[in-house]
Amino acid sequence: MRNNRLAALPLVALLPLAGAAHAEEAPRALRFNQSGFEANGPKRAVLADPSAQPLDWTLLDAKGGVVLRGKTRVFGDDAASGEHVHQIDFSSFRRAGDGYRLKVGDAESRPFALRAKPDGKLTRASLSFFYQQRASIPIEARFVERPDLARPAGHAPDKATCFDKADERGQVWPGCGYTLDASRGWYDAGDHGKYVVNGGVSVWTLVNAYERAAVLKRKAALKAVGDGALALPERSNRVPDLLDEARYELAFLLSMQVPDGQTLQVPIGKQNPVDGKLPLTPVDASGMAHQKIADDQWTTIPTAPAEDKRPRYLYYPTTSATLNLAAVAAQAARVWKTIDPAFAARCLAAARRAYAAAVRNPEIYALGAFAGSGGYGDGNLTDEFYWAAAELYATTGEDAYAQALRASPLFLAGPTAGDRPTGDISWSSVGALGGVTLALAPNGLKPAEIAKLRANLLASADSHLADGQTQGYALPYAPKGYPWGSNASVLNRAIILGVAYDLTGKAAYRTGALDALDYVLGRNPLDRSYVSGFGPRAMRNPHHRFWAREANPAYPAPPSGVLSGGPNSTDMDDPIARDMKGQCHPQTCWTDDYRAFTQNEVAINWNAPLAWVSIFLDDTAR
């Protein structure tokens, strides 16, 4: 979740748009994955219809011939969508081809394809997002799908010293006596900030997708992300392209570590401002990680990275950022050990320093009221300590990290199962990442401990499948309200389902992961694909400072493969969402509008699970 970006919008952006969007295809009553289906896999659609009785449906081929018949399953009233829905399952039909259509009474679907084999398009497009979010280098036309997506380098170099001005409360921060070169890395979302906390969960997700394939010896997945598979400057360097992309962000994360011998004044503990000010305490900040590097004020939309002339600062180091660095640097040390031993050694040294610094300074929270960047404040760091210890233990096998693991209340828990569940994966809930690593990567935990951890992961996956049974649109997700970035929440559950499939081979877990992707790609009450370029009603107008054609035709529309944050019924604080409060059901609180930053922003921690799930589903397709 990011800060309110109303200040980022120029006055004209608060007025109704006139003629900014061209006509698009109308929504249909039959909803399904708009990118098509696996010929040999599950195939489900949802129909919004008031009938209380099952309805006859037919599957037509490209010539209009009936190839399959059946009856709908009446789900009934669905609270999340506000609709009365029927479900259609035509998985038994497996003939690959184009131009198929579903028909129920007068309702007829768009034509769709059944693919005999995965085409890899979503994997490549979702990973290209990260290249196009890179800072400090030009985005070259030869690596993107359209010439207008190329752009000059932004923030090259990206050097800054610590923030030493007044924040929004009027508190003047003391700054520091050094400057860091924080070049490279990915712009976090629709703005030009770069955040260690969100970078951590995003890097872990991408690197885990590779580590999963390597540990399980999944040749198809390794090929899909291998050297030369993606459009990157680093291709043909004998390193898997997915790791090249992740390393670009790791370079930024490593650069955010405080040099040795530095004493900084920071807020300690869960304090509230006193007369608008936070009491600051000097601490040995050596080895900690700065929370972020970002502008001092929000820039307007549109603003290409190279056009951003705002002053940039490092913002004070936090325990959460430091533990994110410790975790992903330890993960990288393990994965790069044979690929680049020198880089792996550098990562491990940084991870050790960061973990020691976090143990020394366990309660430095993100509390500052800084304009121009998201806060990523997190008041519970139990999960970050557990995650970092898990990654360091999996990499080193050292007893000190094992002791920290066993002392954690999250030890061996799954997201929704165990003595104290970790919670679903998000930037502020990372305990499950440690669990997935310990369940996958070879380590020295006792066999009984590994068995308990895996049982809790499977129990969590079972609860996700059970949630799917309660939803009209059959997605493995059943909150009362949809939060900011709900599409990523859905896909992060698909990761747990994917892990469960890898542990058991049980087809239901893979089907649940596919249900999550089907929802994101069109099986939802808005009949929307939330991924740009995938489907006839795909998202086109994200909240983004460069992909901003809706705001200014001189700027490009988004590339393919960009995931919208999705429906948000719980934090409706933007010019579009405010007018929807109380007027929309949870799954329908979304608008394809660049001003709707609570609903239609994009972010690295949202595209990362999209890529993981796409890689997994392609790899396990029959």
Catalytic residues: 191, 543, 592, 601
DSSP β-bridge partners for residue 84: 77
Dihedrals φ, ψ of 281, to 5°? -130, 135
- Tell whether omega for the bond before 302 is within 30 degrees of 0, i.e. cis: yes
Sign (positive or negative) of CA dihedral 142, 145, 148, 149: negative
Q: Is 373 helix (H, G, I), strand (E, B) or coil?
A: coil
- Tell whether omega for the bond before 157 is within 30 degrees of 0, i.e. cis: yes
Strands 97-104 and 83-89: unpaired
Helix 382-396 and helix 319-335, axial crossing angle in degrees, nearest 10: 20
In order of 95, 393, 446, 617, 619, the CA distances from 622 in angstroms are 13, 35, 34, 10, 9
In order of 32, 54, 55, 206, the CA distances from 70 in angstroms are 17, 10, 8, 40
- Give residues with Cβ within 8 angstroms of 364, minimum separation 6: 266, 267, 268, 283, 288, 316, 317, 318, 319
CB crowding 181-202: b at 16 or more within 10 Å, else e: ebbbbbbbbbbbbbbbbbbbbb
Secondary structure letter of residue 67 according to DSSP: E
The span from the CA of 318 to the CA of 349, in Å, is: 19
